[in-house]
Amino acid sequence: MLDLVQNMQICLLMVLIGVSALRLSAGSIDVVFDDNRFGTIDDTTGSFSQISTLPISAAGGIADFNGQLYLDDFANNVMTVDPVTGQSTYIGNTGLATNVGAFGGGSAGLFEVDYSSNLYSINSTTGQATLVGATGLTPNNGLQDTSLSFDGTNLLYTAGGFGQNDELYLLNAVTGIATDLGSTGVTGIAGSAFVDGTLELYQYGQPVNNVFAAPDGSVNFTPVAQLGTQIIDGGVAANFGADSASDGISTVDPLTARTPEPATQALIGVGLTALGMLRLRKRRTVEKSR
């Protein structure tokens, strides 16, 4: 009898582990391309689903702030994008003389690094840019691959010359000063997103382009999916409104707010059935011993 109870306990534990594994799988990422395509990618498979074509020629990046998606194009126009329909609404122009190098943000606001490697904050109501400070990095002048994302505290900025491994920098959102975290070991980073405590990098221009990932603050990036499309300029976890603290989800699992898939529901049902049988077996054992 004891062996039966132990076996059922082990079975229940395995079922619950299976449910947890399904919940921890990554989610869908809202992305914008360097041209005018908006849609989502699955960061476990790299597959892309287009939602709309935006009224721009080239995007500089995408960010979430106060439950809304924002993007900045290479004409320095700022707009919001509906994540469901892909419809855009013009906000205003940054007023900057140089092109956007990278655009991103989160709960601390919207930010842009220009071709001169200066950090600006972007007003979410007017689109106007205000200088935060010089990063201390050499001007990229459009000759580097760059990306910008936000981890809930600091901006994460990648930059590297064409054909070279990109460097990862931490940008202080208050002063603009850059701190070099080291080489990513990845060539051709067009965009990035911070998702569930992990920084994802989107590669382009290589024989095989991948999604790379590493824990926040680490430069130990590993490939996690092969991209079926190229030149993703930035991304935001698809349920970004669940946690506005970062460019993505820092503490909330991407699937927690969604309806469980059939496989998950089945596993939960099996687990509850096993638990019920276990409690019934224990009760009968106790009654017989009286």
pLDDT digits (tens, 9 = 90+) for 206-264: 999 999 999 999 999 999 999 876 677 667 766 555 443 444 322 222 223 333 444 44
| Inter-residue contact 107 to 154 (CB < 8 Å) | no
CA distances for 202 relative to 61, 104, 177, 213, 265, angstroms: 12, 14, 24, 9, 33
pLDDT digits (tens, 9 = 90+) for 107-132: 999 999 999 999 999 999 999 999 99
Instruction: Name, in order, each residue with C-beta under 8 angstroms of 278's C-beta and a sequence gap of 6 or more.
Output: 5, 8, 9, 12
| Inter-residue contact 156 to 192 (CB < 8 Å) | yes
Instruction: Pick the more confident residue, 280 or 189.
Output: 189
pTM for this one? 0.74
- Decide if domain 28-242 falls under CATH 2.120.10.30: yes
pLDDT digits (tens, 9 = 90+) for 14-51: 322 232 222 233 578 888 887 888 999 998 998 889 99
Distance CA 172, CA 165 (A): 23
